[in-house]
Structure 1
Amino acid sequence: MRKTLYIIGLSIFVFSCTSQKNVKKSTYKPRSPVSQTKTGVGSQNLVKNKADVETEHGVEFFRTNIADITKNDNTASYGSIVSAKPAGYKVVKTHFPAIAQNFRQKYLILHYTVLPDDKSIEVLTQQSVSAHYLVNNLGDNEIYQLVDENKRSYHAGISAWRTDKNLNDTSIGIEIVNLGYKADAAGLKVFEPFSDEQVKKVAALAKDIVIRYNIPATNVLAHSDIAPTRKQDPGPLFPWKKLYDEYQIGMWYDEMAKQNFMSLAEADIATRYNEPSFIFVVQTALQKFGYDILPNGKWDDATKKTVEALQYHFRPQIYNGIVDAETWAILQALNQKYPTK
């Protein structure tokens, strides 16, 4: 009996080993979603993926990007790989990478420093505020990297956009050297312009980032967009339309759509401006677009600052925080073009 069991056991072992030898190694390729039965983790039928891992000076990198921008949830790691080193064991990348992952980097946020070049560097590297990149105003071809893109930098603070909060967790921050604004005799904010060299640097840097991380147009934002009651940067003189037209970066409304909304917008402003029901509709439209605002049917300070932020970005000719017909038409055109998914 024992001899019989031994022969049966040996046969099973040989068959198992033979099965493993016949498993072919395959080069990792993006996989389209298909309906199939999942194999248990302990199964002998696991196919080994050959990861295209590069090693430079002892650091491992994986640079294959298989992101699907329509889902943003099927993204292989991009860049350096951080791995555990458990004592007495070897971590291998036989089955690396799993496709069920995504980038931390969902947003690109633009700022200005309100400081000259030397002070900007000092504050952003030596104090409790930072950014991933700093664009100087020296007319050279250098862009300073201050924080690893895979790490959180402290640039956004208390912030929100659509359903996301605390955007330091999910964003890359670009600071631009600029002195911000000064108030004139009438109390109007007068902003400092950006140099052409700075705009070109920001555009090239932003283009590189949004392509690598598949950051959608709706997630390329101003600091004032994600914190409208606290921040004004990068202000109305930052050329958002130029980035949209010439570099295909960020959002802009369609002029025809704006014109189609103008007649109704003019009627709304002329007849309903101070009605709580109309104010509530405007606040709801701001919230729908992405701003962190609680509709209450009042033209309160938070609403004025949020409208001002919208104007900084999309209607920079007038940024007084007052909803006129053009501002209202622009907001409706933006919501039509960039609906919340």
Structure 2
Amino acid sequence: MRKTLYIIGLSTLVFSCTSQQNAKKKQYIPRTPVVQPKTATKTTAEKPRSQITSEHGVEFFTTNIADPAKNDNTTSYGSIVSAKPAGYKVVKTYFPAIAQNFRQRYLILHYTALPDDKSITVLTQQAVSAHYLVNNTGDNEIYQLVDENKRAYHAGVSTWRADKNLNDTSIGIEIVNAGFTADAVGKRTFMAFDDAQVKKVAALVKDIAARYQIPATNILAHSDIAPTRKQDPGPLFPWKKLYDEYQIGMWYDEATKQSFYDLATSTDFQVKYNDPTFIFNVQTQLQKFGYGLDLSGKWDDSTKKTIEAFQYHFRPQNSDGIMDAETFSILQALILKYPTK
């Protein structure tokens, strides 16, 4: 009996020790990981974007983060207009994209052919308008009639270079002026502009052209963009004064014009005047400069009116609609100075 109990006890002890040894063998001992040193990498920090400002719940973005050399500009001169789709939220997490510019690409100058009070009434209450009205009352006020971000109805059917319907892309400035009177044979007598008015126009144009990056080639008369039906602001509007004193708009270089004039007068300019090939060339040059004109090869009415509009702007001392040697030379000098891009 004792022998039996001894054997049972010995077996239990052996089993217990064996189990403990097996347990020790299966026990998991975690390894300490070997951390490999990481290669340092250079990261380019994203340039911080200028913040959208908010005033009374209205948002504005007043800086430019785009490349002005590409004519890109992100500046907003008014509040940011955003969609409000039902059930969704429009966010400006990535605002603004740098690939954008202004819709306002042209400045068009007009006269009202009306006195101050009637000019205001017509431009605010009828189916014609302009963004600004420059009065002739001797004060320092300029009337804004239309938001610069909206279309004003001032240009009508219009063309300049590759662009048409310039209401879409222009700011219109109306100047109070009586326009012209015509005698029995249709000869026009235009009215001069007041010096104080001209200063107002210059300050206004300078401000708008600078903000929207409007080039000299796009600061135009109504008669430039619609020569067959409009004469404003007429031959007495001082384009050269604006160019000389305020660096506004286009003007030719006198020396270049004189070189072309000497060449024209030394050849048979008058002899070939009525040659269809010469007329076609003149029309082509006017079209190249910017005027919307069909190439008919004839001194037709639209060609004469286009030459007249050109003379109103660049040769006002004689605006008879005839392409003489001086007018032709001025045109050549301007094309050379302001080539179509």
TM-score norm. by structure 1 comes to: 0.84
CA contact (8 A) 2:135 2:142 kept: yes
Question: In structure 1, what residue type is equivalent to 2:207?
Answer: D
1:151 counterpart residue number: 150
1:279 counterpart residue number: 279
**Match among 48, 73, 76 for residue 78 of structure 1:** 76
Question: In structure 1, what residue type is equivalent to 2:159?
Answer: A
Question: In structure 1, what residue type is equivalent to 2:144?
Answer: Q
Question: In structure 2, what residue type is equivalent to 1:276?
Answer: P
Distance 1:70 1:223, change over 3 A: farther
Deviations 1:187-243 (A, max 9, x none): 221101110111000000000000000000100000000000010000011100111
Deviations 1:79-105 (A, max 9, x none): 221011223333222211101112110
Deviations 1:31-86 (A, max 9, x none): xxxxxxxxxxxxxxxxxxxx4322223221112245656543x2214222101122
1:250 counterpart residue number: 249
1:27 counterpart residue number: 48
Distance 1:70 1:327, change over 3 A: farther
Distance 1:70 1:319, change over 3 A: farther
Question: In structure 2, what residue type is equivalent to 1:27?
Answer: P
Distance 2:197 2:310 in 1: 23
2:297 counterpart residue number: 297
Question: In structure 2, what residue type is equivalent to 1:244?
Answer: Y
Moved more, 258-267 or 191-200: 258-267
Distance 1:250 1:68, change over 3 A: farther
Give the C-alpha shift of residue 186 in structure 1: 4.4
Question: In structure 2, what residue type is equivalent to 1:253?
Answer: Y
Distance 1:232 1:70, change over 3 A: farther
Distance 1:69 1:158 in 2: 31
Distance 1:233 1:68, change over 3 A: farther
How well do the aligned residues superpose, as a CA RMSD in angstroms?
1.7
Q: Secondary structure at the match of 2:303?
A: helix
Distance 2:196 2:137 in 1: 9
Give the C-alpha shift of residue 26 in structure 1: 4.0
Deviations 1:101-149 (A, max 9, x none): 1211000000001111111111111111100000000010000000000
Q: Secondary structure at the match of 2:152?
A: coil
Matches within 5 A, 1:1-341: 26-28=47-49, 51-65=50-64, 71-72=70-71, 74-79=72-77, 80-266=79-265, 267-341=267-341
> What residue ranges of structure 2 are gaps of 5+ in the alignment?
1-42
- What is the percentage of aligned positions where both structures have the same residue? 74
Question: In structure 2, what residue type is equivalent to 1:105?
Answer: Q
CA contact (8 A) 1:77 1:97 kept: no
> What residue ranges of structure 1 are gaps of 5+ in the alignment?
1-21, 29-50
Give the C-alpha shift of residue 257 in structure 1: 0.5
Moved more, 74-83 or 136-145: 74-83
Question: In structure 1, what residue type is equivalent to 2:142?
Answer: I
Distance 2:268 2:324 in 1: 9
CA contact (8 A) 2:66 2:98 kept: no
Q: Secondary structure at the match of 1:108?
A: strand
Deviations 1:13-33 (A, max 9, x none): xxxxxxxxx9977422xxxxx
Q: Secondary structure at the match of 1:295?
A: coil
| Structure whose alpha-carbon radius of gyration is higher | 2
Question: In structure 1, what residue type is equivalent to 2:234?
Answer: G
Distance 2:119 2:65 in 1: 36
Distance 2:93 2:44 in 1: 13
Distance 2:298 2:181 in 1: 29
